[in-house]
Structure 1
Amino acid sequence: MSAAGAVPVSNGVGDKQYVLINVLKAVAAQLIVLHHLAFYGPMADHAWPLAPDLFSWLAGDARIAVQVFLVIGGFLAAKSLSPHGLPGLDHPLRAIGRRYLKLAPPFIVAMLFAVLASYIAGAWMDHDSISAPPSLLQFGAHMVLLQDVLGYEALSAGAWYVAIDFQLYGLMCLLLWLSGRLGQASKWRWVVPALVGVGVTASLFFFNRDSDWDIWAPYFFASYGLGALAWWASDPKRQPVAIMVLLLLIVAPTQLALAVDFRVRIAVAFAVACLLLLLGRERPALLTGHISRLMQLLARTSYSVFLVHFPVCLVVNAAFTRFAPELPHIQFIGMVVGWTSSLIAGAAFYRWVEVPIGHVFAQSPHADEEKITAAKVSGAGQL
């Protein structure tokens, strides 16, 4: 499975957005773009002698940046669906449907761009990164985010992650709904963190160690669940004993799993969860300075950059293969052009596709249901 990622769906990023999350999303998104530029070539193949160690790292280990998005996804899902970690979600299917409408429409538009990009690139070069024209069934599988489950080739690198994010969010919704069936929130206050802890442990010791599961949410639930636990443990109003128990749910299974089978991706996920636990809720009244504004912009447009960067890089690769000499410095310039073009295209896609589509589907009469549900359970007490 190709390594790319994004859970960087816009969450109303503004001047009061969480600072650390902005920085993590912005940096991780750049690493994903650079990873694909280095991994899929052919520009990187020609530029490789200029910095072999750097290109080797980008083509390999840089893909671990996907863990940042997994953990942030769980962190923000807990914030949105169950801010106090209490059981219950009145309409899980409706919440899952809203998540689909947030993820899928921009994704489908981006897949159309990917098909067009493959057509253009195919006229200029012959390379295995170019996808064949999709069948109707293949494109339909992408529309319902089931392309990997149904065994179809992805139309763009990273398409798998949109499907996994949707699965993980849906799994969290179902866990909250199931926990609410067990009894009153005041009597079952620990059931949600306990269920998530069990899910994290199962993922760490079984699912995440078997690559056959990497098209399903349980494979990635360790990272996602650590993010959720980090949100609940970072609540400053929580009782110290409760914080200690939540910390135990984060630290104990992760460290034991790393001792049994060390995986860099899990170590990175654990580190990100710890950062979010300590600093994830920090958000000053107003971010100032050029760097802060840049981080906000890159974080806000990160999902759009994720969706369109591979088609853009594919066309740039094809153009430099067809029309530029195969000299290392020239091809390195091509990589820089691919990177910057991806950011520009992502900003345009955000402005003209993601935001307008989001406004259309935000008009649903149930658009604020998650906030209403959270408000209903918040009076039942905290852990």
Structure 2
Amino acid sequence: MIELAPFAVRPETSRGRLHPEPAGGARSPFQRDRDRIIHSTAFRRLQYKTQVFIYHEGDAFRTRLTHSIEVAQIARSIARRLRVDEDLAEALALAHDLGHPPFGHAGEDALNGLMRPYGGFDHNAQSLKAVTSLELRYAEFEGLNLTWETLEGLAKHNGPLARPSPFITAYDGQHPLDLQSHASVEAQIAALSDDIAYNNHDLDDGLRARLFTLDEVSTLPLVGDAVAEARRRYPEAPAPRLASEAIRRVINAMVEDVVAEAQRRLVRLDPQNADAVRQAGRPMIAFSAAMQAANQDVRRFLFDRMYRHWRVNRTMQKSRRVVQVLFSLLHGGPDMLPPEWQERAGTTGSAACAAAVCDYIAGMTDRFALDEHRRLTDPLLPG
């Protein structure tokens, strides 16, 4: 068993759960958190939630579920190298997208615009909401009753929250999460693992969808080196195999860079406990300057050639419209909601009604949202 570094979050010193529970026997608190996340309804729904391509566009493209599993794999690898708690890093990686609505960023943009009069919509806050109130699996409490460390990591894995969402502010009032400090090393690892997985699998999916070619991504720093190395070693390999060889090299290079940069920062800070990392004033888990620049080049390429591709634009525009129509109909007529949601919604057009409709839509898969849109707009279909 690997001895944890001094700055790792330690299961035995966890700040516990909002609702106290007996110890979990052979499982640590963070292993129990991970297991509860995996068994949650929100986690299962990720199977039919979009990354870039809607679920029916192909079985080989990533979904939020496969993305979360890839993030968890990268996070565990980095956590092991840095000798911090792998189970906490994995739990955060698996939970980080639980709050994403259907249709990826198009769905989030639509809900954010619709909810602007009520404080907006943010998928990170919605992830916290999912695990603290929307999951109804236990008789003694709402949510999953995760540990303080997991909730902290979900709330602020991208850094301190200067302007937290209304929900996070309200939750922090009853269960303070120290929103003005950085999160643990484990949470920071999950956040950067998300960036590594996201960019690389979007390159893979974009190549698979023929939005761009291997020669075109070869112009990018880091990616070009990986493609050249793959071609040198496997000159007869077809393009799809070369792409896979190149992308796994890019992922490995990014992981090695993160580990090296983190070790440099941690040696300089010399934190003797997890709280020293939280109070450091800067993240400990980051790319080097050179890798950050290369990563930004990949982001810009994907933005221009994939996220703004005319085929993707068409799909995203239609997806936004689906969300807008669903919200308009249900906010104006909450009596069309299922009974348990009607009770939450209350008065037609109220803020409580908007929040209930938003939560209802945010929990939908792409497939369910499209079916619900048809049920609500096609007079020939039964409700």
Short-chain TM bin: under 0.3
User: TM-score, length-normalised on structure 1?
Assistant: 0.27
User: TM-score, length-normalised on structure 2?
Assistant: 0.27
The structure with the greater share of residues assigned to helix is 1
Question: RCO greater where, 1 or 2, for CA within 8 Å and sep 6 or more?
Answer: 1
